[in-house]
Chains A and B, each alone.
Chain A
Amino acid sequence: MTASIEEARRGFRERLLEAGVLVVLGEPGLYAKSGVFERVYRGVDALTETTLAHLGAEVLRFPPVEPLALFEKTDYIASFPQLTASLSVFTGGDLEHAELLTARAEGERWERFLEPAGVLMSPAVCHPVYALLTGTLPAGGRNFDVLGDSFRREPSEDPMRMQAFHMHEYVHVGTAVSALAHRDEGAPLMHALLESLGLEIDYVPANDPFFGRAGRMLAKNQITQSLKYEFVTPVYGDAHDPTAISSANYHETHFGQAFDIRDADGEVANSSCLAFGLERITLALFARHGTDLGSWPAGVRARLGADA
């Protein structure tokens, strides 16, 4: 009998915890990662860089949070309110602090004494790039190599769905032609990289988890216009839907318009990004090859620089 998807997810989570690949932190979807996880993760990350080195992308590393003004322009709250997380901070004086401590001593939740800071957890690592590009691009557009923390509020027992994770993205901002070329020329390279690690990969049209009724319309548009593709792999066996571990996205003028970016001809800029889900790729490898790194195929370990 086939295990349900929930059983399959719990089983994989238990194997990862037993083998010490991940360590739980007391909240679904938040983990500490062990040394063996980190070795594979670093190998995967290094391979993304060599695979797309020819882009000559400008390197930018962002903090895990972003300013409200930037977040606003991305329209994220309209599309994904269910994933959004805002930081709150203490701004009171002694009196408010005393009230907070009293509530805390009585066993109450005390976060309600905090105020929104105007800083949000970054849900997508490429967003801050566009805020830097307001103005006119050079001919040929620009390429960026961005890596950072993402936070999406979706607590889950599925180890593939973490709340805090990292994406390594290769972003192009330019014309419609150059942005589509970036996506469609990069995707086969990503596909080959993932397959070279022994993963069974499909490249399929996809949609983001847009919220609510309006979201169903955005999701339908994304599919009919072939804006988003995902690299999926059967982490939980062929009886269950495969899991996305990377994506290739064409944003049309969404960010160009929001951040007032123009291409060299003065038209609203188009953008696209190639996004590697580093934790998801790493975990897909543990699902595929087992939790004992020493018994992985030698070729895979060599590719990852995780030989001995």
Chain B
Amino acid sequence: MTGAAAREADIAAIRDALGRFGRLSVSAGSVAPETDLYGVGFTSHAAVNVMLALEDAFDIEFPDELLTRATFGSIAALADAVSRTRAAA
């Protein structure tokens, strides 16, 4: 897979996790990568469930320093966190 295709696949998986666990006020499929998730109903508690779902889906464990509000602030930020975690593994 090319880098761009891999990122698209990551974003699709992130949208899926957000759809199941994000409790967003809008459909996860309609959220742009840069949109502030907390502005569309995302909460700290929902973020925890999304984190666990992503770790499961990607078979990764986010390092503690990435377990912050900012990491979960947008789909793009989540995709960055996933690829950083994968690279460090």
Contacts and interface: CB of A to CB of B under 8 A. Distances in A.
Interface of A: 75, 78-79, 213-214, 216-218, 220-222, 224-225, 252-254, 257, 268
A218 B43 CA distance: 10
Contacts of B68: 217, 220-221, 224
A217 B48 contact: yes
Given A214-B48, A217-B48, A218-B48, A252 B43 contact: yes
Contacts of B49: 78
A268 B38 CA distance: 13
B85 to A, nearest CB: 13
A217 B47 CA distance: 9
B45 A75 contact: yes
20 contacts: A78-B48, A79-B45, A213-B67, A214-B48, A214-B51, A217-B47, A217-B67, A220-B68, A220-B69, A221-B47, A221-B69, A222-B44, A224-B69, A225-B44, A225-B69, A253-B41, A253-B43, A254-B43, A254-B45, A257-B43
A268 B39 CA distance: 12
B64 interface: yes
B7 interface: no
Contact of A216 (B43, B45, B47, B67): B67
Given A75-B45, A254-B45, A214 B52 contact: yes
A126 B44 CA distance: 20
Interface in B43-87: 43-45, 47-49, 51-52, 64, 67-69
Interface of B: 23, 41, 43-45, 47-49, 51-52, 64, 67-69
Nearest to A79: B45
A216 B63 CA distance: 11
A220 B48 CA distance: 12
Contacts of A216: 64, 67
B73 to A, nearest CB: 11
A78 B67 contact: no
Nearest to A268: B41
B45 A220 contact: no
Given A78-B48, A213-B64, 16 more contacts: A75-B45, A79-B45, A214-B48, A214-B51, A217-B44, A217-B47, A217-B68, A221-B44, A221-B47, A221-B68, A222-B44, A224-B68, A224-B69, A225-B69, A252-B44, A253-B43
A268 B43 CA distance: 12
Contacts of A220: 67-69
Nearest to A220: B68
Contacts of B44: 217-218, 221-222, 225, 252, 254
Nearest to A252: B43
A227 B68 CA distance: 15
Nearest to A214: B48
Given A220-B68, A221-B69, A257-B23, A78 B45 contact: yes
A79 B43 CA distance: 14
A68 B14 CA distance: 32
